[in-house]
Structure 1
Amino acid sequence: MKIQSILLLFFTFLTISLFGQDMAEYTSGWEGKIVGSKVFNLKVEIESFGLEKARLKISNSKSIIDYPFDSRSTSILKVPFTENYSFEGVLSENGKEINGFIKSGMLLYHLKLTQSDNNIFVGVWNILMVDELKSLNFYLSVENGAGNEYEAYPIFGDNRFTGTWCDNFQKENDSISFTDFKTGLHFKGKLTADEIQLDIYLGKNSITQVSLKKSTTDWKIGGFNNKNKVSILKLTEMEKLISKDSLPNTHSVLISKKGEIIYENYFDGYNANIPHDLRSASKSISSAIVGIAKDKSLFTNVEQSIFDFLPNKYQTLKDSLKTEIDIQSLLTMSSGIDAIDYGINANPKSSATEQNYQRTPDWIEAILKAPMIHKPNTNANYGSANPALLGVAMDSVISEPLELFIDTFLFQKLKISNYIIQTDLRDKPYFGGGMYLTPKDMLKFGELYLNKGKWQSNRIISKKWVKKSFKNYRNLENVIDKNGYGYLWWHNTYQINGKNIKSIEARGNGGQYIFVIPCLQTVVVITSGNYRNGKTQQPEEIFEKHILPYLEN
């Protein structure tokens, strides 16, 4: 009997060694602690720039990347420092900065590397978007485990990081691995009887390791306080409602009048240094890029057909009606393509909604194959397919990488360097949304349009383009309020003391707003996190009930 027990234990051990654990046993919540608050704030250095033996180094408390490259005789620096990761940048005219992007996952992280005293260019890459983690708690939700099948989703206790989009779940024996295709981070776990040792990688190089145990209590996520505030206005009632969660998930409120910040406040642990996910509010930035390209005569006029800009492989998709889709129709959501979001319960697979075309290997092909429901430039229906096509068009007329054009001719001129651009499947900037900017930089962008294309007396966009952008072309038929719409800018009217106040707005899902109010010479920025609770338009309530009364006085 004793021999049989020993043999049984031996074969059990052998089975586990050969085939690994059943993931059903690991389907649970797991938790651990990150080793330091700045482990994901990575130092980036370029040594010996301009020489044959230059080096790109990335580190936290330890060296992560040390990549040699030849930096001689090139106008655009391109460094593929590890598999699926690269740095691309340009030396400034004064030779003291390198402005560029790290491509990681679906994001282009902008970096400004500044020359130090010992001739090394240095900058910081905040891969989780935050300047420092306020919580070291780390959680892993292992779901749908059966045999070697499972899903795993990392969750940070600091929920100011916008979260991971994980896939490619793999298992071999007692090892699991998966990838966050948004940030590009790679996760590898070692399974034991009561623990998961999880390594977080940049390519094949470990950033940090977290030891995870099964959770026995509820997870503690968010709930951070703020003390930073600049205020000339007294918005006491608004602040009370935010603190009591009556205006939930409000992350920031900023107001400028005649170019001066008169109110700046952050909530839920947010601060001036954290780029916020603008979602579709960055469509208005896409409009600015089209305007800059037009001002530079990179295309003839907004009446040009989109097919004038598309690669040959898409030309077979045009017909007599689709060939009438022009730049202006895309700017005004009037292409006529069926890109209407009908909702979860009734969304035809043939339509060009984001949830449809983003599930295909070729977004542009999927959009162009969608049926036409109107003649171009007649009816307006909000849909991200329209600016998505604009991004392809602009990429075709701009000679340098599109992201470098955006940086050089818009963001550098606005003195904006702390930002991130989401890409499409072509690794090009996605004009449909998803850019990350700090609220103060959102305010700068609003002031640029309030001042008719000038910022700090410098002309960035032509007055003519701004005027066309703010024109109300037609009302959006597929939104509740039937708002007027310009060149990727919303129109709205608010009531205060019996008066109508007109506002031109950049808007993004979850409550990301830039209000430009010409009659009050004011710009208001509100950022939020109301993605799934039906309160995405809460900033309009805050603006009308709590801000406008003070601006009118």
Structure 2
Amino acid sequence: MRVIFFMIIGLHGMWGSVMAEKNNYTSLEKKIADQEFKQITSVLVQQDGNLLYERYFNNGSSELLNNTRSATKSIMAILFGIAIEDDFFKSVEDRVLPVFKHKLPIADVFPAKENMTFDQLLSMTSPLECNDFEQASAGNEEKMYLRKDWERFILDLPEAGVPPWEPKAKDRPYGRVFRYCTGGVFMVGAAIEYASKTSLTDYADKKLFKPMGINQLSWAYSPSGIAQGGGGLELRSRDLLKIGQLMLDEGQYDGQQLVPKAWVKAMMEPRSVAIPDQRVDYGYLWWINHFDIGGKDVVAYAASGNGGNYVFVIPELKLTAVITSQAFGTSYMHQQSRQILTDHILTKYVK
């Protein structure tokens, strides 16, 4: 009887803990139900490798393939680090144009383009006039999608300048100008395909996804059949959480070092200032956010995509969170996902 009694007490305590955790998210669930947070499809939170919260909304489900849009870019950074480890590239300082010599000659040749490196593409600091945040930019991704040859579209771009009312590169932190260029990241994926002599999708499956048990996914492709490393990869929420945990565990998954530890660190080092007024820096295709939580600076690394899709990695808390959303192209998409993180997740775990 004593054994049964203590088992009942133990089960009651465990159930109480689970219910307490769920109750912590009641206000979040109400705001999603009331459409204060719109078009959210999933929220998952994991700490110390333990799944603390998983809930689906608005026709979201554990089997839904979420279009992560530009969160795909952060996975491309992971794959480039693996490709360096496989000796397909010597380092991020490898020049880009030699990989695309089959596309030569190209238009508008200038020294900075000839010497352009993968470091610059990965950090969004290339010399090309390519900025998705500026509709008029020659390299805006919407213009690329109208072209049949995406590679040539990027390679032919003119040299970027800095408007006279903005600070020059030398006067900015890290000495670089941030220009968000999806086309440049497509080129990173294409380079992996050419260097490895295998399709980007097969390389990703072999080196990253299958070892992690990620078997359900869907890529977008260019007209020439190269996977779009700059956006559009569709993954389940639980598999996105695995990517976050992989970063939290410094590239190790289930006892295997899938990504070099030094590369994980390199991806998360700030290379440029992306959004100064929000205290957001940029590493190698990962956003570096600084959030003020109760007067404490909390650093959250993020894979981020249109619609408000996020994988957040917070090493200080040993926590990763996934927020998926279909609020594509709205003015509130990023703000509401970030508010979910700060007001409904981080406040629970920051001491």
TM category, shorter:
0.7 to 0.9
Out of 465, 470, 485, the position equivalent to 2:282 is 485
Q: Does 1:246 align with 2:36?
A: yes
CA distance in 1, matches of 2:312, 2:34: 25
Following the alignment from structure 1 to structure 2, what is the Cα–Cα distance between the partners of residues 484 and 231? 35
1:19-34 paired onto structure 2 within 5 Å: none
SS in 1 for 2:278: coil
- 1:415 is matched with 213
1:311 to 87, 97, 101: 101
Following the alignment from structure 2 to structure 1, what is the Cα–Cα distance between the partners of residues 236 and 38? 20
On the 8 A contact 2:190/2:200 being kept in 1, the answer is no
Contact 1:416 1:441 in 2 (8 A): yes
User: Which of 241, 253, 256 is equivalent to 1:455?
Assistant: 253
In structure 2, the residue matched to 1:365 is 152
Return the letter of the residue paired with 2:128. I
Structure 1 pair 500–420 and aligned structure 2 pair: CA distance change class (3 A): same
Query: Which structure features the higher share of helix residues?
Result: 2
2:27 pairs with one of 234, 237, 261 = 237
Give the secondary-structure state (helix, strand or coil) at the position aligned to 1:338. Answer: coil
Aligned to 2:302: 505
**Pairing of 1:346-385 with structure 2 (within 5 A):** 347-348=136-137, 351-373=138-160, 378-385=176-183
Which residue number in structure 2 is paired with residue 266 of structure 1?
56
Match of 1:332 in 2: 123
Q: In terms of mean alpha carbon deviation, does 306-315 or 257-266 score higher?
A: 306-315
> Contact 1:230/1:264 (CA < 8 Å) preserved in 2?
no
Listed as ranges, the gaps of 5+ residues in structure 2 are 1-17, 162-168
TM-score under structure 1 normalisation?
0.56
* Distance in structure 2 (CA, Å) of the matches to 1:512 and 1:446: 13
The 1:269–1:342 alpha-carbon spacing in structure 2 relative to 1, beyond 3 Å, is closer
CA distance in 1 between counterparts of 2:203 and 2:185 reads 17
Is 2:39–2:326's contact at 8 Å kept on the other side of the alignment? yes
Larger Cα-atom Rg: 1
Cα drift, residue 454 of structure 1: 0.3
Deviations 1:514-537 (A, max 9, x none): 000000000000001111331121
Q: How many residues align?
A: 320
The one-letter amino acid of 1:302's match is V
Could you say if the C-alpha distance between residues 321 and 402 of structure 1 is closer, same or farther in structure 2, counting changes exceeding 3 Å? same
Equivalents in 1 of 2:313, 2:147: separation in Å? 36
Distance 1:342 1:432 in 2: 15
- Paired position in structure 1 for 2:6: none
Post-superposition CA distance 1:147-203 (Å, at most 9, x none): xxxxxxxxxxxxxxxxxxxxxxxxxxxxxxxxxxxxxxxxxxxxxxxxxxxxxxxxx
2:193 and 2:255 map into 1 onto residues whose CA distance is 29
CA change 1:230–1:286 in 2 (3 A) is farther
Which residue identity is paired with 1:492?
A: N
Q: How far apart are the structure 1 equivalents of 2:81 and 2:348?
A: 34
Q: Which amino acid aligns with 2:330?
A: N
Tell me whether 505-514 or 495-504 shows the greater mean CA deviation: 495-504
Distance, in Å, in 1 between the alignment partners of 2:134 and 2:121 is 22
Taking the aligned partners of 2:232 and 2:346, their CA distance within structure 1 comes to 28
Correspondence 1:281-292 to 2 at 5 A = 281-292=71-82
Residue 436 of structure 1 aligns to which amino acid in structure 2?
Answer: E
What do residues 480-500 of structure 1 show as CA deviations (whole Å, max 9, x unaligned)? 636210110001111112111
CA deviation profile, 1:349-400 (whole Å, cap 9, x unmatched): xx11111111112111111222211589832211202201111211111122
Which structure shows the bigger proportion of residues in strand conformation? 1
Given that 2:112 and 2:127 are in contact with CA atoms closer than 8 Å, whether structure 1 keeps it comes out as no
Measured at CA, do residues 262 and 230 of structure 1 come closer, stay the same or move farther in structure 2, by a change above 3 Å?
farther
Q: Is the 8 A contact 2:279 2:289 kept in 1?
A: no
Q: What is the distance in 2 between the residues matched to 1:269 and 1:366?
A: 38
RMSD: 2.0
Q: How many Å separate the matches in 1 of 2:115 and 2:267?
A: 21
Instruction: Give the C-alpha shift of residue 436 in structure 1.
Output: 0.2
- Give the secondary-structure state (helix, strand or coil) at the position aligned to 1:311: helix
Distance across 1 between alignment mates of 2:112 and 2:20: 53
The residue type equivalent to 1:441 in the other structure is D
Q: Which has the higher contact order (CA 8 A, sep 6+)?
A: 2
- Aligned equivalent of 2:201: 403
What does 1:42-57 align with in structure 2 at a 5 Å threshold? none
The percent of aligned pairs where both chains have the same amino acid is: 28
Structure 1 alignment gaps of length 5 or more: 1-228
Superposition map of 1:533-544 within 5 A: 533-537=330-334, 538-544=336-342
Aligned equivalent of 1:445, options 226, 229, 243: 243
Matched, 1:300 2:80: no
The DSSP-based 3-state class of the residue aligned with 2:290 is strand
What is the alpha-carbon distance in structure 1 between the residues aligned to residue 226 and residue 103 of structure 2? 18
Letter in 1 for 2:97: F
CA distance in 2 between counterparts of 1:341 and 1:413 reads 34
Partner residue of 1:5?
none
DSSP-derived class of the 1:513 partner: strand
Task: Summarize the Cα distance change of 1:267–1:342 in structure 2 as closer, same or farther, 3 Å threshold.
Answer: closer
Q: Distance in 1 between matches of 2:99 and 2:20?
A: 48
Superposition deviation, residue 236 in structure 1: 0.8
AA in 2 matched with 1:326: T
Answer yes or no: is the 8 Å Cα contact 2:273–2:282 preserved in 1: yes
